[in-house]
Amino acid sequence: MPYKEYFEAASEGLIVVNRGGFIVEVNRQAERLFGYSSEELVGQRVEVLFPTGFHERHRKHVENYFAAPRTRAMGIGLSLVGRRKDGSEFPIEIGLTYAGETSRGDLVVAAVTDISQRLALEREARRAETVISLGTFAAGIAHDLNNPLQVIRSRAELVLESPPSTPASELNEDLATIHRQAERASRIIEGFLELSRQRDKAVALLDINQLVENTLLLIGEQMRKDGINVRTELDRSLAQVNGDATALERVLVNLLSNARDAMPQGGQVTIESREVGESPGWLHLIIADSGPGISPDALKRIFELLYTTKPSGTGLGLWMSRRIIQEHNGRIEVESEPGRGTTFTIKLPAAETSDQHD
Ligand SMILES: Nc1ncnc2c1ncn2[C@@H]1O[C@H](COP(=O)(O)OP(=O)(O)OP(=O)(O)O)[C@@H](O)[C@H]1O
Ligand SMILES: [Mg+2]
């Protein structure tokens, strides 16, 4: 096939430009892309194909190119904007190939591709990704709200079903729980709003024993009703941690709910807090249950997003818990063997006290 036929058959718009920046030849595809006829283009400066804002940059580009053309002999990809005869603009990519000294002078062949379709596809892919992460986000909110809502519902049922002779003090206790849970739900929503605003979290100095006690106020009663005996071994001399109380309580609620789910016939949960001698400055919070344990294969996967073995589980609990602990510069570890229960250990760095700086 002679050169001219290759030139016309190319799927890119081909524009041959000389050292002075003048168009020497264009193929049909280039005429189509830019809406000019070949006669209109040949002899014009190549800048006619770019929006005015690009002219200066483009002129420099041509100069630089011819100053050292061989370094780019294979052509380079550039994201640029083209301008049609009717003034409309479109995104293009240009590959440059140096044709060398020819009988018609020192020439470069610019291969122009209209990339509007590709960019539209890329935009669509990014949009789809955003939709997916929004879905995960929404599932996270749903998961976290479910806990307080369940408690509110069951407590409200207790109140509704209680006989008229029930003393007010007993009802008040249920109402206080409902109130606390409703507040918790609002805090969760605030937390997520905060997250979506990408503001700093509510970090404060916290006593992790206090966190355990608050969490037990929230769900301890329910666990007892489900036949779970919760025992605490809290070291009262522990240093404080820097953290977000709502987020850390969320982790504890997740771990305790998992223990409860694992022991439908009831069982033991021990919550222990301590500072470990061999790693000073680190506080350990250990949550151990006497449930059925986890098989080695499942153990590798429990922190994965959406991994669940429960018919109505979402598989968000441990994934979110680990994320929260990592945000606190801590670690969460698990040990489990079938038949020997499951132990989660949360390791958090102690907050530096002012006397350590002195
Ligand atoms: N204490 C435990 N004992 C036995 N298995 C556990 C325990 N904790 C977690 N698992 C296993 O790990 C899986 C993942 O737990 P995770 O908390 O991430 O999700 P989930 O509890 O299934 O659902 P949810 O999103 O409602 O929390 C559980 O489905 C369960 O199989
Ligand atoms: Mg869970």
CATH code: domain of residue 255: 3.30.565.10
Ligand 1 proximity of 47 Cβ (cutoff 6 Å): no
Least confident of 117-126, 218-227, 262-271: 117-126
90 and 160 belong to one structural domain: no
178 and 129 belong to one structural domain: yes
Number of folded domains that form the chain: 3
Query: Closest Cα to atom 17, ligand 1: which residue?
Result: 317
The ligand minimizing its distance to the Cα of 313 is 1
Residue 73 pLDDT > 50: no
Q: State the residue for tokens 């709003």.
A: 193
Q: Choose between 343 and 322: higher pLDDT.
A: 343
215 and 351 belong to one structural domain: yes
pLDDT in tens, 21-56: 899 999 999 999 999 999 999 999 999 998 887 777
* N-terminal to C-terminal alpha carbon distance within the chain: 84
Ligand 1 proximity of 251 Cβ (cutoff 6 Å): no
In this structure, which residues have their CB less than 5 angstroms from ion ligand 2? 258, 317
Q: Which of 98, 114, 130 is the last residue of a domain?
A: 114
pLDDT range class, residue 356, cuts 50, 70, 90: very low
Query: Closest Cα to atom 7, ligand 1: which residue?
Result: 258
Domain extent, residue 176, equals: 121-199
pLDDT range class, residue 203, cuts 50, 70, 90: confident
> Quick check: 162 and 171 in contact, CB under 8 A?
yes
Q: What distance in angstroms lies between residue 315's CA and the mean position of ligand 1's atoms?
A: 7
- Looking at residues 163-172, what average pLDDT do you find? 89
* C-alpha 181 chain-centroid distance: 28
Task: Identify each DSSP E strand in the chain by its residue range.
Answer: 13-18, 23-26, 78-83, 89-102, 105-114, 204-206, 228-234, 241-243, 267-275, 282-289, 331-336, 342-349
Q: What's residue 161's pLDDT? A: 93
82 and 151 belong to one structural domain: no
Q: Indicate the SS3 state at residue 259.
A: helix
45 and 66 belong to one structural domain: yes
298 and 285 belong to one structural domain: yes
The model carries a pTM of 0.54
Mean pLDDT value across the chain: 86
The ligand minimizing its distance to the Cα of 339 is 1
Q: What distance in angstroms lies between residue 287's CA and the mean position of ligand 2's atoms?
A: 14
273 and 355 belong to one structural domain: yes
Q: What's residue 191's pLDDT? A: 62
Residue 1 pLDDT > 50: yes
Ligand 1 proximity of 302 Cβ (cutoff 6 Å): yes
Q: What distance in angstroms lies between residue 185's CA and the mean position of ligand 2's atoms?
A: 17
Ligand 1 proximity of 242 Cβ (cutoff 6 Å): no
pLDDT in tens, 77-124: 555 789 999 999 998 888 888 887 878 888 888 889 898 888 888 888
Joined tokens for residue 302:
């429990």
229 and 315 belong to one structural domain: yes
Q: What's residue 149's pLDDT? A: 92
Q: Which of 169, 199, 229 is the last residue of a domain?
A: 199
pLDDT in tens, 281-318: 899 999 999 999 999 999 999 998 778 898 767 777 89
Q: CA torsion 309→313→315→321, rounded to 10°?
A: -120
207 and 192 belong to one structural domain: no
CATH code: domain of residue 46: 3.30.450.20
220 and 307 belong to one structural domain: yes
Joined tokens for residue 172:
């008040």
CATH code: domain of residue 138: 1.10.287.130
Q: How far apart are CA 110 and CA 17, in angstroms?
A: 7
248 and 340 belong to one structural domain: yes
167 and 295 belong to one structural domain: no
